[in-house]
Amino acid sequence: MFERVLTRNFGLPRSESIDTYVANGGYQALRKALHEYKPQQLIEVVTASGLRGRGGAGFPAGRKWDFMPKDPAITKYVCVNTDEGEPGTFKDRELVEKDPHQIIEGVIIASYAVGAQRAFVYIRGEFFLGVKRWIKAIDDAYAKGFLGKNILGSGFSMDLSVHRGAGAYICGEETALIESLEGKRGQPRTKPPYPASVGLWGKPTLVHNVETLANVPHIVNCGAQWYAGIGTPKSTGPKIFCISGHVRNRGVFELPLGVPLREIIEEHAGGMTFDKKLKAVIPGGASTPMLTPQQLDTHMAFETLEAAGTMLGTGAIVVMNEDTCMVDVARRLMRFFAHESCGHCTPCRIGTQHMLSILERLEGGKGRPGDVHLLEELALSIRGNTFCPMGDGAVNPILSGLKLFRDEYDYHAKHKRCAVSGL
Amino acid sequence: MQTGMTRGDPAKRSMLLTALYIAQEQYGYLTQEAVERVASRLGLAVADVYSMASFYSLYRTEAMGRYVLQVCEGLSCHLVGGADRLVDYLGKKLGIKPGETTKDGLFTLEMVQCLASCGTSPAMRVNDALYENLTVEKVDEILETLRGYHV
């Protein structure tokens, strides 16, 4: 029986407070890490745990830590990515609002491991409660001596502060986040160099999603072996899945990686609302290709979703029933991508606008012959040709929609109305 | 010669996002004067500061209503019959279209992208407050409460 790890305090009264966190074993991992481990040993523990990034890309966390230069004379930084904004995703907001100390403890351990004495939280500007929770939690952590000078008598010192973003999805991309922290437009940088060698103000920088960092104290407390025993060999540990759309119980569910999609939808989310038939599922946020009802037995792990032609992404599952018009879904998602394109490169900046205008045309009953073909051609020419992965993310809903539901697109173009709703 | 993009202290420049928030709060929106003050305080070119204000969607370069109603048009809000229905309802009730402000200057209606309330959709932000699981009745209540502050 799987016991919740990251969300285990969520049901407690005032779960966000430092008192609740400490009373339930909080900051013990920090004590252990600072007093019993050398930084390199912590990197080895995290590597052995198999922890992979939870922000979308799934990069091994231990490797990311190990990329940071070991020379103590070099100034290094850690950034905490709370710029959650991918449609369907709401796990980071929950983590920050309900248990921010778990993340702070992870940040301090990570900073100690990579030798950073300064860390920054970058939080999405819209998350007003999240900003308040972060600030209060950091103040309380300073007051108890978990942050600041000579933490718990270990000789290790570090500072942590909050930086509020101002409304730009692209700032969730790590180099755009760094640009924004520096007070610039959030446009991605050329990689390489990666932030681990040239990051914030040109210094080596470790950027992690909040859910990734929330795992760290548990790995230190219970060991790499325990952690690696949860999930699958290539996707270890617990994962917070967000489920929304046409299911009875929407919300966050913490489950081991590798859980079948069917189990999440039918058991945890209580099945489809009004007992409608399932039509399609977005498994990992707006930018991940869709799955069909025939693929419901796919396991929710990095490698199995990749084999199914899609991605785990942020673990944001959007469920759509038989009454959903897939052209409309594509249009909604494209409005998002067109709005959020940072404007840096042409295929994404112009391409998303063109794709959106075709989709608005098809949805508005003004489709032209050849529109579906044009849409596909555009999507294929954008894919792989943009400066950052956002361009690929923007064409994924289109290409997977065309692959699975091309007849709906054709119907819109030919009959100037929707085959599903009749409108 | 230093250009707008490189001059100044890099740590100082990183205060720009915060400075713009403060200026916006003081002036109501980022007026020409507000932008000029921020630019001079941080030693940046005015055009540079404007380019920031126009890049980030939470900065305003035009006057807004006292309350900005931001209805989420994300996919998960749409799937549960949110965005369009709420925007239509609010639009009719207030007599404005998305992007417009009521004549009394109280409300601005906007459609925004995902607010990360997908599990509690439909959702709407009013200034810094988030409202979730919205119904037409709840929207009425919210409007009434807000209007009550200005009678």
- Summarised one tens digit per residue, pLDDT across range A131-153 is 999 999 999 999 999 999 999 99
Kindly give the residue spans of alpha helices, DSSP state H, lying in A84-167: 91-98, 100-114, 128-143
Q: How far apart (Å, rounded) are the C-alpha atoms in residues A103 and A208?
A: 11
Stated pTM of the model:
0.95
Q: How far apart (Å, rounded) are the C-alpha atoms in residues B95 and B108?
A: 11
Q: Do B118 and A320 touch (CB under 8 A)?
A: no
Q: How far apart (Å, rounded) are the C-alpha atoms in residues B14 and B25?
A: 19
Strands B124-126 and B129-131: antiparallel
Amino acid at B66: R
- Summarised one tens digit per residue, pLDDT across range A26-78 is 999 999 999 999 999 999 999 999 999 999 899 999 999 999 999 999 999 99
The 3-state DSSP class for residue B54 equals helix
Question: Which residues lie across from B71 on neighbouring strands?
Answer: B111, B124
The enclosing H or E element of A255 equals strand A251-256
Among 3.40.50.1100, 2.30.30.90, 3.40.50.300, 3.40.30.10, what is the CATH number of B67-148?
3.40.30.10
Mean pLDDT score across all residues of chain A? 96
Enumerate domains of chain A plus CATH numbers.
Answer: 18-228 (3.40.50.11540), 238-321 (3.10.20.600), 326-415 (1.20.1440.230)
Q: Name the DSSP letter for residue A276.
A: P
User: Shortest CB distance from A242 goes to which of B56, B80, B119?
Assistant: B119
Give chain A positions within 8 Å (CB) of B117.
Answer: 90
Give chain B positions within 8 Å (CB) of A84.
Answer: 116
Å between B97 CA and nearest CA of chain A: 18
Q: Can you say whether the dihedral through the CA atoms of B92, B97, B98, B104 is positive or negative?
A: negative
Contact criterion met (CB below 8 Å) for A51 and A61 = yes
Mean pLDDT of A155-167: 96
Mean pLDDT of A240-247: 97
The two structure tokens encoding residue A359: 């989709």
Q: Do A88 and B125 touch (CB under 8 A)?
A: no
- Summarised one tens digit per residue, pLDDT across range A213-234 is 999 999 999 999 999 999 999 9
Chain A interface test: which of B22, B58, B113, B120 (most A C-beta within 10 Å): B113
Nearest alpha carbon to residue B18 among B47, B38, B4, B46 = B38
Angle (nearest 5°) at CA A300 between A296 and A301? 145
Q: How far apart (Å, rounded) are the C-alpha atoms in residues B96 and B109?
A: 7
Q: How far apart (Å, rounded) are the C-alpha atoms in residues A59 and A52?
A: 5
Q: What is the ipTM of this complex?
A: 0.91
Give chain B positions within 8 Å (CB) of A244.
Answer: 76, 79, 118-119, 121
Q: How far apart (Å, rounded) are the C-alpha atoms in residues B88 and B65?
A: 18
The 3-state DSSP class for residue A160 equals strand
Give chain A positions within 8 Å (CB) of B74.
Answer: 87-88, 332, 336
Residues 6+ apart with CB under 8 A from A278: A265, A272, A293, A296, A319, A320, A321, A322
Q: Do B113 and A186 touch (CB under 8 A)?
A: no
Nearest alpha carbon to residue A304 among A235, A240, A354 = A235
